[in-house]
Structure 1
Amino acid sequence: MPGTNDYTHAYSGARVLITGGMGFIGSNLAHRLVELDAQVTLVDSLIPIYGGNQRNIAGIEHRVRVNIADVRDEYSMNYLVQGQDYLFNLAGQTSHLDSMTDPYTDLEINCRAQLSILEACRKHNPNLKLVYASTRQIYGKPDYLPVDERHLLHPVDVNGVNKMAGEWYHILYNNVYSIRACALRLTNTYGPRMRVKDARQTFLGIWIKRLIDEEPIQVFGDGSQIRDFNYVDDVVEAMLLAGASPAADGGIFNLGSDETINLRDLAALLVEINGGGSFEIVPFPPDRKVIDIGDYYADYRMIQGRLGWRPKVSLREGLRRTLEFYRREREYYW
């Protein structure tokens, strides 16, 4: 079984394509791949309401190729997949609220575009390895905790339904066309380079922005909702392991953490690490209440058993690094 350190040689000199490459997770992945001497191409539409940010590749801009293209454009994708060894497919619309107000755009990006990426691979490069960023959102409101991969899927919003379809297209193409693909169901991912100007990517972003702006963090509901969190470096590690390991092909894996925390305690922890600030408990906005999933934390034993992955960065340490990053980089992300 591959250990956590054995994947690094797999990427040295390899040609790697990252869709959503200027976004939060994509850019962190790019930084790591550059360290591993990979030849990295980033595809991003840089549409303002999504996560792409030029600042995300500061320090590596001369060592990566950037292609401003939309994954919905089949012609671009047909060209871009050619000659690549790995494709990390992270392009997506992540806002649950946007998916409810504009379901067709969500459908285009999270379903149709996924299909055109897979078709591009089938026709122009069936030998690459594909890692798809899926989401815990497709489980919906948990029937039991921790949630394992056998848990029924009953998403509570349009985004969840479309992400579910996107994930299954990848597994289908793996099973039918032998395009080596796997999916990682991400939980709350946080860290440097995430979008913080609003809650489109994660509520933690807007919490951190408010904290640094000396405004109270707003905790919806009663703050008792339990969650698990992964620091972005741990997620990047999981993706690289999944990409390099044949044991991942055709698999669907939860990511998760050994630490769980309710949102009230999380807000208090952030204030403590920040050395000041405050939070307030406020009623759920009606549009959020209907898609809230209550408590959620994952069972990640499958990826641990098969690929040897487990998170290394503690919540306290991850939050500390994140706050430090945004204090320093504030002007580029506000």
Structure 2
Amino acid sequence: MKRILITGGLGFVGSNLAEDLFKKGYSVIILSKSKRKLQNISNIIDKVSIEYGDVTDFNWLEKTILRYKPDVIFHLAGQLTSYESFEKPIYDVDVNAKSTIVILETIRKLNKLCRFILGSTFWVVGKPKSLPINEETPCNPLNIYAANRLAAENYCKIYHRVYDMDTLIMRLTNTFGIKEQHDNPKKAALNNLIYKGYKGQTIPIYDEGKFFRDYIYISDVVSAAEVIMEKGEPGECYFVGTGVKTWFYEIGKWLEDLTPGKVVYVESPDFHKRINVGNIVVDNNKIKSLGWDWKVSVKSGIQKVLDYYREINV
């Protein structure tokens, strides 16, 4: 049975991935900073291994990996918003860049074949000159978070090239779905808007909603991660997105149809404008070549999140 270690395994992507991998018969080891999101794996809590610690505690991180000797590592832990990266820039370097090189060095010391998959982000590209973007699009990050994620990507490429290590990069577009935070508009904008609509509150959307992103539902991200784990080529980077433009004014209309909330258009703050990457949509042909495709539309995903909120009674 393959042992799969997931850093950030109680978080949004990590917990959904952990649950699906367990159901498919893998031995799952979760690394988490705290027990705060333990409810995310309530269905498998007594069936997986959980270790608590901060991935910036590099001594603990190394010892934990050496003890479990995993076959696959998904590195999903990190400070996940561009806003927080400006509030805690040094911590962002540690958690989003240094932790990656610590794990890579630990795998090298193990002298064991271990597939390392880095969870990265479309933010590394910055504001693209043309769309759609793909894995060859030049990167020019506009914020500290993206710069550190790009550094982590480069570490993966270097360790593959120099040491022939089995590293892969999974670049996610805007992801939403169940088990994501709903109270932090700076990290999970769509989940926050869905929650506001669910509660019958006003739904604030920037700049008349005249911008688009490539939104993808969490179950499609999980299936993509598993395809990359099983079929991805060592040293490669894969964009994970639908390739579909989702305009925010469309999101507003769907939320007004599905919830008692009402959309209010507001001007985006100045700081947001300084770090924003603008419109984004990806060319996902590379990951499709592995046999993957997305299944859940954004509107269907919104309905799934609303059903989840009702189920857990938030």
Normalising by structure 1, we get a TM-score of 0.90
Which residue of the other structure, out of 7, 27, 37, is the alignment partner of 2:25? Answer: 37
1:99 and 1:158 in contact (8 A); partners too: yes
The aligned runs of 1:183-198 (5 Å cut-off) are: 183-198=169-184
2:243 and 2:282 in contact (8 A); partners too: no
Displacement after TM superposition at 1:161 (Å)? 0.5
Q: Say yes or no: does 1:235 pair with 2:218.
A: no
Q: Say yes or no: does 1:272 pair with 2:257.
A: yes
Which 5+ residue runs of structure 1 have no aligned equivalent? 1-12
The aligned runs of 1:56-135 (5 Å cut-off) are: 56-82=40-66, 83-135=69-121
Counterpart residue type for residue 138 of structure 2: L
Displacement after TM superposition at 1:117 (Å)? 1.3
1:71 and 1:117 in contact (8 A); partners too: no
Counterpart residue type for residue 113 of structure 1: S
Counterpart in the other structure of 1:325? 308
Q: Say yes or no: does 1:55 pair with 2:25.
A: no
Which residue of the other structure, out of 10, 16, 23, is the alignment partner of 2:4? Answer: 16
2:134 and 2:283 in contact (8 A); partners too: yes
Counterpart residue type for residue 110 of structure 2: H
Counterpart residue type for residue 324 of structure 1: D
SS of alignment partner, residue 248 of structure 1: coil
Name which of structure 1's ranges 124-133 and 134-143 shifts more when overlaid on structure 2.
124-133
**Cα deviation per residue 1:179-227 (whole Å; 9 max; x = unaligned)?**
2010011000111001111124221121122112211111112311111
Name which of structure 1's ranges 120-129 and 151-160 shifts more when overlaid on structure 2.
120-129
1:184 and 1:252 in contact (8 A); partners too: yes
**Cα deviation per residue 1:78-130 (whole Å; 9 max; x = unaligned)?**
22223211111101111111112221111111111111111111112541111
Displacement after TM superposition at 1:134 (Å)? 0.7
Q: CA RMSD in A?
A: 1.5
Counterpart residue type for residue 35 of structure 1: K
Which 5+ residue runs of structure 2 have no aligned equivalent? none
Distance 1:330-1:132 versus aligned 2 partners, 3 A rule: farther
Mapped to 2, the partners of 1:200 and 1:67 lie a distance apart of 28
Counterpart in the other structure of 1:28? 16
Which residue of the other structure, out of 228, 234, 241, is the alignment partner of 1:249? Answer: 234
Displacement after TM superposition at 1:285 (Å)? 1.5
Displacement after TM superposition at 1:330 (Å)? 4.1
Displacement after TM superposition at 1:16 (Å)? 0.8
Which residue of the other structure, out of 303, 309, 316, is the alignment partner of 2:299? Answer: 316
Distance 1:78-1:36 versus aligned 2 partners, 3 A rule: same
SS of alignment partner, residue 312 of structure 1: coil
- Moved runs in structure 1, 4+ residues, more than 4 A? none
SS of alignment partner, residue 182 of structure 1: strand
Counterpart residue type for residue 166 of structure 1: A
SS of alignment partner, residue 191 of structure 2: helix
Distance 1:200-1:17 versus aligned 2 partners, 3 A rule: farther
Counterpart residue type for residue 14 of structure 1: K
The aligned runs of 1:145-156 (5 Å cut-off) are: 145-156=131-142
Displacement after TM superposition at 1:243 (Å)? 1.0
Counterpart residue type for residue 109 of structure 1: V
Counterpart residue type for residue 131 of structure 1: I
**Cα deviation per residue 1:1-26 (whole Å; 9 max; x = unaligned)?**
xxxxxxxxxxxx21110000000000
1:44 and 1:68 in contact (8 A); partners too: yes
Aligned residues: 312
SS of alignment partner, residue 275 of structure 2: coil
2:244 and 2:281 in contact (8 A); partners too: no
Distance 1:121-1:284 versus aligned 2 partners, 3 A rule: same
2:206 and 2:265 in contact (8 A); partners too: yes
Q: Say yes or no: does 1:286 pair with 2:257.
A: no
Mapped to 2, the partners of 1:301 and 1:21 lie a distance apart of 28
Counterpart in the other structure of 1:159? 145
